[in-house]
Amino acid sequence: MSGPRRKQFNSINAASLARWLVLTGFVAITGLIYVYLTVQLYHLGDLKKALENELASLRMQNEVVNVQITALTSRSALQRRLKEGYLKMVPIAEHSIVRLTVPPRPAEDAIQPVSNPRPSR
């Protein structure tokens, strides 16, 4: 046998290894971000659906209340409450009534500050 053999090591290309590690890390981080955003999208969709259901419920309640207000303020309901003595009506005094009169129209030749008359054809 010949003298001691020198062990040969396989050389590693550090630049190639670093490039593959960076590329693998980038793909892994991109995948994790995609999964996170997809889960967040589903979560926000569920939240939006719950808010839409609540809005529809509130609109329905609002409609029911509007019907009740209309029923309670109708003329027949107010007359019934008046007969029961629940309401008391007092006539309006003459001095409390404000009457508005229509101002007289200006003559045809008067100056009109707001609009000009249309020319005759």
CB 53 within 8 A of CB 47: no
C-alpha torsion sign, points 17, 19, 22, 26: negative
Please state, in angstroms and rounded to a whole number, the distance separating the CA atoms of residues 35 and 41: 10
* 64-105 tens-digit pLDDT: 999 999 998 888 988 888 899 888 888 889 999 998 887 777
* Residue entry with tokens 């609109």: 59
Q: 6-15, 18-27, 52-61: which has the minimum mean pLDDT?
A: 6-15
Predicted local confidence at residue 29, as pLDDT: 98
At residue 104, the pLDDT reads 73
What pLDDT score was predicted for residue 86?
A: 85
Q: Which two tokens stand for residue 71?
A: 């029923």
Q: Contact at 8 Å (CB) between 45 and 52?
A: no
CB 54 within 8 A of CB 62: no
Per residue in 28-64, pLDDT (tens digit) is: 999 999 999 999 999 999 999 999 999 999 999 999 9
Whether the model clears a pTM of 0.95, i.e. scores above it, the answer is no
Q: Which of 14-18, 20-24, 98-102, 114-118 has the highest mean pLDDT?
A: 20-24
- How many whole angstroms separate alpha carbon 48 and alpha carbon 73? 37
- Provide the H-helix boundaries in 1-121: 14-72, 75-84
Q: Return the structure tokens found at 55.
A: 């809005």
